[in-house]
Amino acid sequence: MMGEKSEELSEFSKEVHALSSGAKPVATWLGVESLGEARKACGGHGFLHMSRLNTLRDDNDPSQTFEGENFMILQQTSNILLGKVSSIGTINTPMSTMSFLNSNPSKFSSWSSNPVDDALSAYRYLTYHLLQTTSSEAKKLKGAGKNSFEVRNEIQVHRAVNLSVAYTEHTMIDWVQKFVEEVEDVTVKTVLQKVLNLFSLFLLERHLATLYITGYASGGKFGEDLREKLRHAVAELKPESMALVDSIAPDDFILHSALGASDGR
């Protein structure tokens, strides 16, 4: 855009493209799912038209296909990541979101006192191994005579899609943790850390099967511990729930719902 051409700018644009192509699907899937959960949490009242929760969910539903159909644009992320396989050991991107791919992350050994650190360690292992298996599968298909279009289609399910999502979620968690560390208000910082603890464990639990398949952990204890930590994170955040709702709630005029009006009626 500035008329500048350089290798660094080219890498920067690739990294931005990889992140935006991953973040849009992850964010829109979470948004629609969250509105569905909000509606169900209100029981029969949530089903009422006057709750507006159904309307909000329906209004957000198309976000999963407009501005890039989610599964389609996740290919953009995985294509960029797969292009880095030959550079493992020397990957150096401007925002450093791929630098952890330079070394083979270690398997699970023990939990630390920080749920976010534990989640990031698992995500690094997951992303690295999904990159390796996706790349290996692509080479195998090419060797079998498949063309590029066929290869890209056939490596998506269980491989390239999961790779793109894992890379994106790792970046989201990592960047939010760095942001929280810079918050000066101790009270706000404590609550935000609780939110991130829950969010990171919530996302990681969805990858539990793949973590076992890729060999990150063995036996049932890792999965049981993860779910126990997730339940604990929910309990820790529960006392802050109303304050969090109040801090982000849109005005009644905007929400226009019969539920949860600010006057308490």
**Catalytically annotated residues:** 67
The Cα 88–Cα 79 span in angstroms is 15
CA dist., res. 170 & res. 122, Å (int): 9
Helices 70-82 & 7-41 angle (0-180, nearest 10): 140
Return the ∠ at Cα 93 (arms to 169 and 163), rounded to 5°. 35
List all residues 6 or more positions away from 77 whose beta carbon is below 8 Å from its beta carbon: 18, 19, 21, 22, 163, 164, 167, 168
- Are 141 and 154 in contact by the 8 Å Cβ rule? The answer is yes
**Tokens at 91, concatenated:** 């990957």
Tokens 């080479």 sit on residue: 139
